[in-house]
Structure 1
Amino acid sequence: MAVTKEEILDIALLSKLWVDESELDKLTEDMAGIIAFADTINAVGESAEDFDNINNLSNVFREDTVVPSYDRSLILKNVNGGENGYFPVKKRM
C-alpha cells in the first residue's frame, strides 16, 4: 500500500497538526515504512511461534538471592541520624 502526500496532509488535518512542505516527503516515507512493518506483522499470523524471539535472545534474569543489608545506623549517620530511623525528605510545594 503506497502512502501519498495527500493522505499525510489529511491525517495532519484530522490530527490538528501543521506539516511544513519541506517535511512532507520524509513523513510520507516514514509512514510508508510504518505501514509496511505493520503489514509484515499481520502477515505472520497467530500460528508463528518463533516470532516473539526474532533476535534469538535468551532469558537474562537471574535468581534472587538474599544478601545482608548495610547497618541502618551507618546509613543514617550521613543525615545526622535521620528521623525515627528514616531519611527525612522535604515536601515538595
Structure 2
Amino acid sequence: MSVSKEDVYYVANLARLQLNDSEAEGLQKDMNNILGYIETLNELDTSDVEPLEHVTEVISTEFRKDEAKEPLSHEDALKNAPDADSDYFRVPRVIE
C-alpha cells in the first residue's frame, strides 16, 4: 500500500491544513516510510508473544487510601483565582 498525493491532500483537508506542493510531497514520502515500517513489523512472527497491557513492567498498582478529609474553605479555594466574587470564580462570558 502506498500513499498518493491525493491521499495527502485528503487527510490535510480533514485536518483543516493548507499544504503547498513541496509540503505535500514531503508528507507523502513520510507517510510511505511509516507504512513501509509497519509492513516490516507485520512480517514478524508474533504467534508466541502474549499481548501486553503495559510495555514496561508495572512496579506497583497500589493506590492511596480513600480517606475522608476536610474540604477546602472558600478562601483557600479562591486564593489563586485570577478573579473572584465572594464565593465564586469569575470567568469571561462564553454564551450570550
For normalisation by structure 2, the TM-score amounts to: 0.48
More helix by share: 1
TM-score, normalised relative to structure 1: 0.49
Richer in strand (by share): 2
